[in-house]
Structure 1
Amino acid sequence: MYICVLPFLKLVLLQVIVIIVDYDKLVKYDIAGFKDTKI
């Protein structure tokens, strides 16, 4: 059972990291765009 679960957990971890990185970039671009429109 653990042998089947470990690769799955690795895939989930990788996806979570990718989502967090993408979200971080989106937030930074969003803040920059908001500042541009405000000025």
Structure 2
Amino acid sequence: MDIGVGFEITYAARRAQRLSNVVLAKARTHTAESIDCER
């Protein structure tokens, strides 16, 4: 397997992980805001 290809796959995986972390964080804050609004 080519080193460049492996690096690209690793980079894409890290980017996807970071994106999912951001989405989860946004969803968490959004849920918290919704709960605060309902109180």
TM exceeding 0.5: yes
Structure 2 residue runs without a partner (length 5+):
none
Quote the residue 1:6 is aligned against. 6
**RMSD across aligned positions (CA):** 1.3
Percent of counterpart pairs with the same letter?
13
Displacement over 3 Å in runs of 4+: none
TM-score (norm 2): 0.82
| Counterpart residue type for residue 32 of structure 1 | A
Aligned partners of 1:19, 1:35: CA distance in 2, in Å? 24
The TM-score, its normalising length taken from structure 1, stands at: 0.82
Structure 1 unpaired stretches of 5+: none
